[in-house]
Structure 1
Amino acid sequence: MALFKPKFITFDCYGTLINFDMAGAAAARFASRVSPEKMTAFTTDFAYYRRDEVLGAFKLYPQVVGDALYRTCNKWGVECTEQDCAAIMTACASWGPHADVPAGLAKVATEFPLVLLTNSTDALIKHHVPRLGVPIHMTITAEEVGAYKPQMKGFEYMLSRLNCAPDEILHVSSSLRYDLMTAFDLGITHTVFVNRGHDPANPAYGYTEIQDIGGLPAVVGL
């Protein structure tokens, strides 16, 4: 893997690069409605419902979050308002990168064009890209594609825009279920799993595992 020189390094953004703390935002917002001992289960359900929401017909990400939050609250029997959804999206726009990201990206950005394939909107991602601290060659949002990962359409669209074959890129993500399983199914043979604890590891998918973006330069021989 260290000898492979991709034409592009492509990334998932939220969770992998940006510290996308939906659980923390939901916990803060619902602290008076969900007990501390139940909060982890509540926020885990919120994550599961968000993933379920992106598998259906396309809608903008604030609607995905809102619908997932309403479903979560319905399951738990707690009140959910439009203000709750708006507060979580406001928090989302404020988040920055994980501490390891700027330096790790800076090392690979000198040698490879960096591309983002993100389950975001065109407006929302504009808050986050400048905080990465490096030039981004191309940013592709779910809004542009009209579909969210883990659906295949985003990867197919990205490969078409980059004029690349699946084995010519290196895709980096902290999520097996949103990214790396789909990449595997599409024949993207060079992948990196950033193990931030979002998904359990499964080496059967043939990725290289790193603990943070600081480990990425070594993967491409830098």
Structure 2
Amino acid sequence: MAVFKPKFITFDCYGTLINFDMAGAASAIFADRVSAEEMLAFTTDFARYRMDEVLGAWKPYPDVVCQAIARTCKKWGVEYKDSDGAGIMEACATWGPHPDVPAGLAKVAEAFPLVLLSNTMNDLITHHVPRLGAPIHRVFTAEQAQSYKPRMRGFEYMLDELGCGPEDILHVSSSLRYDLMTCHDMGIKNKVWVNRGHDPANPAYGYTEIKDIGGLPGVVGL
């Protein structure tokens, strides 16, 4: 079969490209309030509440983080301080790409325009795009779309802005729940799952699996 040549390769940014270590940031901040033995369960709940917080009307991402960590603390009976959410957001701005990202992105950027669709704020993502090591054609944020993934609105906004349809893109993400399930429902047939251990596999959603971005050039015949 012929290799699919998309008009654009679109990416989730945080987790997929940027090593978005929310668990590490929360672990450092709450080390004095949550035991080491319980920290994994605590940060897992934090991730689940972040997902829940983005399912409604759009709000600034710092509000998503602060409300999610406050809800986690309430569940665990742990003291919450206003500085906790702010500390996590400060850590966000410092994170860089996974080691495999710059070379893999640079290779595919030689042949395809690269696009980001990210659950972030306009000012936050400016810290991260220059660290990716490849030219990025367009960047779309939840702030621009006024909607977070996994809702469809962000994908619709991106496709409208690019002037293309679901059949024209290859979407790449490490998250089935935030990205690839929605892509499936929207008829985006060409999908790549970067298996970074964020979600369990579910081949029913029709993706090509790679272990890191180094495998992406092979997917598009480079």
Q: TM-score, normalised to structure 2's length?
A: 0.99
The equivalences for 1:199-218 within 5 A come to: 199-218=199-218
Shift of 1:134: 1.0
Between the aligned partners of 1:2 and 1:13, the Cα distance in structure 2 is 28
Q: Structure 2 regions of 5+ residues with no counterpart?
A: none
CA deviations on 1:147-204 (whole Å, 9 max, x unpaired) are 0000000001111111111011000000000000000000000000000000101000
Question: Paired residue for 1:28?
Answer: 28
Question: Paired residue for 1:45?
Answer: 45
Question: Paired residue for 1:158?
Answer: 158
Between the aligned partners of 2:220 and 2:97, the Cα distance in structure 1 is 22
8 A contact 1:2–1:221 mirrored in 2: no
Between the aligned partners of 1:117 and 1:92, the Cα distance in structure 2 is 17
Question: Paired residue for 1:173?
Answer: 173
The equivalences for 1:188-203 within 5 A come to: 188-203=188-203
Question: Paired residue for 1:139?
Answer: 139
Percent identity, please.
Answer: 73
The equivalences for 1:70-149 within 5 A come to: 70-149=70-149
Q: CA RMSD in A?
A: 0.8
The runs of 4+ residues in structure 1 deviating greater than 3 Å are none
Between the aligned partners of 1:57 and 1:221, the Cα distance in structure 2 is 40
Between the aligned partners of 1:9 and 1:68, the Cα distance in structure 2 is 31
CA shift in 2, pair 1:2/1:23, >3 Å: farther
Q: Which amino acid aligns with 1:7?
A: K
Q: Which amino acid aligns with 2:84?
A: D
CA deviations on 1:8-31 (whole Å, 9 max, x unpaired) are 000000000000000000001001
Between the aligned partners of 1:104 and 1:143, the Cα distance in structure 2 is 27
Between the aligned partners of 1:28 and 1:58, the Cα distance in structure 2 is 28
CA shift in 2, pair 1:105/1:129, >3 Å: same
8 A contact 1:95–1:128 mirrored in 2: yes
Between the aligned partners of 2:143 and 2:5, the Cα distance in structure 1 is 30
Between the aligned partners of 2:214 and 2:11, the Cα distance in structure 1 is 14
Shift of 1:57: 1.4
User: What is the aligned length?
Assistant: 222
Q: Which amino acid aligns with 1:194?
A: V
Q: Structure 1 regions of 5+ residues with no counterpart?
A: none
CA deviations on 1:54-99 (whole Å, 9 max, x unpaired) are 0011100000000000000000001111111111000000000000
Q: Which amino acid aligns with 1:172?
A: V
Q: TM-score, normalised to structure 1's length?
A: 0.99
